[in-house]
Structure 1
Amino acid sequence: MLSRTADDLYWMSRYLERAENLARMLDVSYSLSLMPQSGRGDGLDELAMPLLITGTQDEYLRRHGQLHADRMLHFFALDAENPASVFNCLGAARVSAHAVRGRITADMWENINASWLEIRTISEQGLGRYGTTRFCEWVKERSHLFRGATVGTIMRSDASRFIRLGTFIERADNTLRLLDARYELLGEDSEDPDDRSARAYYQWSALLRALSSFEAFAELYRGSPRARKVAEMLLLREEVPRSLRACLEELHSILASLPGDNGRPAQRLAAEMEARVRYTVINEVFEQGMHDWITEQIDTLGRLGNAIHSSYLEIA
């Protein structure tokens, strides 16, 4: 497969996954901002979380001066000037899909094109009239439809492998960043039951719902969501589709299936990451410090992305 084609397929998938992840992030921050706050009571600290997770706080403040709920939601949802908005992610995905129109199926193209046309209509209407929660659910639904069309219609060829590569490297990064942000906000749970606040329960529950893992937690663990159990599930449990371990297993398997010797650096790094997480227990994560451990994984994922690019996607 030509590097240019592989690159467009890979980034088409990454942008679609990123749009879904942004919608999940916005949904949980918006929902928690409506809860009674222990500080100023206005929920702005909670709404600032997506800015911190995505590293776009300086750009937002440069343009808007101060944090404002409606402007922040528009900034991430429909702002055409913000490269990290859902609007621009879907637009970039459509551009990549159009470039590889002959390598994807009609169902896949129609889904991406329809999503782009519809979000332009939503943008004209405005998020205030359309509704934040409704918008986030719409983005997730469109992502699910695309994923279903992909699994159900595309040949099991290199094209499908590069699409899946983009999905899982983006998903792994998002899970790590969301978990890290919540842990930095809440810290490790106190052993004293009297110190366990309702706020912590709702924060961890909201994170699990944002990652479609609330039901999985209820099946795998007893009791309320707490830092150590949530971290173990989202980092180390292979049964959970959005966990770090599940994503790394997919990345390792996909890269190992790609032909040729050019990809050995990426294959080796993916295998090393998968093996490390496979044989890690949650106590080791907390002994190192969860923030430091997650930061290390995010950095290594970045190196894996660079290795994939240099191995398969660079255009001579």
Structure 2
Amino acid sequence: MLGRTASSLFWMSRYHERAQNVTRLMEVAYRGAIMSHSGQEDGTHWTFALANSGTIEGYQQKYEDLNSRNVSTYLVFSRDNPASVRNSLELARNNARAVRTSITAELWEAINTTWIEFIDVNPQTITPEKLPDFLAWVNQRAHLFRGALLNTVLRDDGYFFSQMGNFVERADNTARVLNTQYWALLPDSDIVDDGSSERYQWSAILRALSGRRSYRFAYPNARLKAFNIAEFLILRKEMPRSLAHCYNWIADTAEDLSQFYGSLEPSLELATEVSAMLAEKQMREIYQEGLHEFLADFIGKNNEFARQLSEDYNFA
């Protein structure tokens, strides 16, 4: 496979995953804002979405007021925000179009129809009351894309590169959300009152990573606790958005790719190393090393893996 084809498949999946991640952050922020006990719009919730998407500085350069209209415009529709849902969906579609003959009709239809219907929406019509339904639609389209990828694509190198893009982006998002909110996940935070801000942060983190209900299944007899939440989202392989789950997939896919081409590339070694590290770690060890330091190091390793993969397979 040509390097530019591999690159397009990798980034097609990565951008689609990014669009869904930003949508989920907006859903959490909206939910928090309408549930605020103050009776007024609480900027804390919108700051949560901006901080976790890494866009707070860009937002502050463009807007003075922090409110639902401005944040939804910037995170969902803005051309000026590189991480906006709009830009992510457009880039995913452009990468898919570049390799149109290398993907299935169902996968192309899922990507192309999402983009066509998205750009047909007038942002001015998405009022705060309509925002939840619109975000739910974007989220559903992301699931459709993922379903088409998993259920129609041949298990060859194209599929492997697509999977890599999805899980590299997912791992990056989980690590960044945890790192941005790491102070709420320190062991001392477990000693809090039920109405504390930490408890809101715990629920918001789990919702942002689609883990609120599955946490209850994983820890059926335990209340929300910082230690459990950190362990759940970092080390528990059964959690689809945990770092351990992502790198279990990445390492297995890197191995499949190496066997497909009959060569052992440095990226496989990196993936295996990170996956083994997560499999062997205990949460108490991570706290002893420093949660923030561990997550920052992981983000660096994830970026290095993506860079090495692009070098190994000549991404254009």
For the criterion TM > 0.5, the same-fold answer is: yes
Q: Distance in 2 between matches of 1:289 and 1:28?
A: 27
Q: Distance in 2 between matches of 1:106 and 1:23?
A: 26
Secondary structure (helix, strand or coil) at the match of 1:122 reads coil
Q: Distance in 1 between matches of 2:307 and 2:245?
A: 21
TM-score, with structure 2 as normaliser: 0.92
Q: 1:89 to 1:254 in 2, by over 3 A?
A: same
For residues 79-118 of structure 1, the aligned pairs below 5 Å read: 79-118=78-117
Contact 1:262 1:311 in 2 (8 A): no
Q: Distance in 1 between matches of 2:41 and 2:292?
A: 27
Secondary structure (helix, strand or coil) at the match of 1:67 reads coil
Contact 1:190 1:196 in 2 (8 A): no
Q: CA deviation at 1:46?
A: 2.2
For residues 142-291 of structure 1, the aligned pairs below 5 Å read: 142-185=141-184, 187-190=186-189, 192=191, 195-197=193-195, 199-221=197-219, 222-259=221-258, 260=261, 264-291=265-292
RMSD value, Cα: 2.2
Kindly indicate whether residue 15 of structure 2 is the aligned counterpart of residue 15 of structure 1: yes
Question: For residue 295 of structure 2, what is the aligned residue in structure 1?
Answer: 294
Q: CA deviation at 1:211?
A: 2.0
Contact 1:78 1:86 in 2 (8 A): yes
Q: Residues 135-185 of structure 1, C-alpha deviation per residue, up to 9 Å, x if partnerless?
A: 221111001111111111111111111110000000011111122223335
Q: Residues 224-272 of structure 1, C-alpha deviation per residue, up to 9 Å, x if partnerless?
A: 2211101101100111111110100110011111134776221111111
- Give identity over the alignment, percent: 35
Q: Flag structure 2 segments of 5+ consecutive residues without an equivalent.
A: none
Q: CA deviation at 1:84?
A: 1.1
Q: Distance in 1 between matches of 2:290 and 2:94?
A: 41
Question: For residue 66 of structure 2, what is the aligned residue in structure 1?
Answer: 67
Amino acid at match of 1:272: E
TM-score, with structure 1 as normaliser: 0.92
Deviates more, 1:210-219 or 1:154-163: 210-219
Contact 1:9 1:97 in 2 (8 A): yes
Q: Distance in 2 between matches of 1:245 and 1:253?
A: 12
Contact 2:247 2:274 in 1 (8 A): yes
Secondary structure (helix, strand or coil) at the match of 1:296 reads helix
Q: 1:145 to 1:192 in 2, by over 3 A?
A: closer
Q: CA deviation at 1:71?
A: 0.6
Deviates more, 1:12-21 or 1:260-269: 260-269
Q: Distance in 1 between matches of 2:110 and 2:297?
A: 36
Q: Residues 96-124 of structure 1, C-alpha deviation per residue, up to 9 Å, x if partnerless?
A: 11111101111111111110011112235
Q: Flag structure 1 segments of 5+ consecutive residues without an equivalent.
A: none
Q: CA deviation at 1:196?
A: 4.1
